[in-house]
Amino acid sequence: MPATDTEIEEARAAAAGGTEKRAYVRRIFSEIAPRYDLLNHLLSFGIDRRWRARAIAALRLARRPSGTYVDICAGTLDVSALIARQRGFGGMVIGADFAEPMLRAGRSKTPRASVSAVVADALSLPLRSGTAAGAIVAFGIRNLADLDASLREALRVLEPGARFVILEFSTPRTPLVRTVYRLYFHHVLPAIGRLVSRHPTAYRYLPESVDRFPEGGALADRMRSAGFTQVTWTMLSFGIAALHIGERPA
């Protein structure tokens, strides 16, 4: 069913941020949870698996293989499961997300002894300060109602010297790649997403939210302002995604 004008405006308003965003994001991700994994892999042609592996490698698990790691905006727990299955890992992963249906949809893929799925807001994580050996958020930080507060909260839970890794969509800089990408992202992807998910606006919100999210150096600056040091960022797959890394000062 095509989206109504009201539903389209609601998606655009949520992408722009403000008070509507939190409720909208929780609702749509709860509604698309059963088909979320299928659409992730389908719409990215499977490249998302490689991006996640790159992000997990950036966590440097070997530094503290028995530590506690936080998967923020964990969704269907793809990243949590991958961390738990890394060779030599003997710690615990806290998969936190405020949309319970997403966590429930992914629970079967995780080893229960090393992954704890927790219904929690990224702006108020259920961990004591300075206790996490690392934190990661994959394709979720642009959905948060307050980016700067979420960065400060991630910094709070990290132990000194621990890393925070952000994997997020971006916009390619090369004109030809950008043109093809925007055609796919703004027209093809929403149509396929609507058909498979049966949700009128969830995959219309996606490109809108990416367009409005700070990228590259702008996000790196926000991380530094929140207190992170050693901040770096790398473009992936011609700039379709980006990997940002920061550390809590030792």
Residue 103 clears pLDDT 60, i.e. is over it: yes
Mean pLDDT of 104-118: 93
Residue 95's pLDDT is: 98
Which CATH number is 5-247 given?
3.40.50.150
- 103: Cα within 13 Å, side-chain hemisphere: 20
- Label residue 67 by pLDDT band (50, 70, 90): very high
Residue 201's pLDDT is: 83
Quick one: what percent of the chain has pLDDT higher than 90? Answer: 70
- Label residue 12 by pLDDT band (50, 70, 90): confident
Q: For all residues of the chain together, what is the average pLDDT?
A: 92
Task: Report the number of secondary-structure helices (H) and strands (E) in the chain.
Answer: 11, 7
The C-alpha atoms of residue 168 and residue 112 are separated, in whole angstroms, by 27
Contacts for 154 with CB less than 8 Å, ≥ 6 apart: 70, 72, 122, 125, 135, 137, 164, 226
The residue ranges of every structural domain in the chain are: 5-247
- Global pTM? 0.93
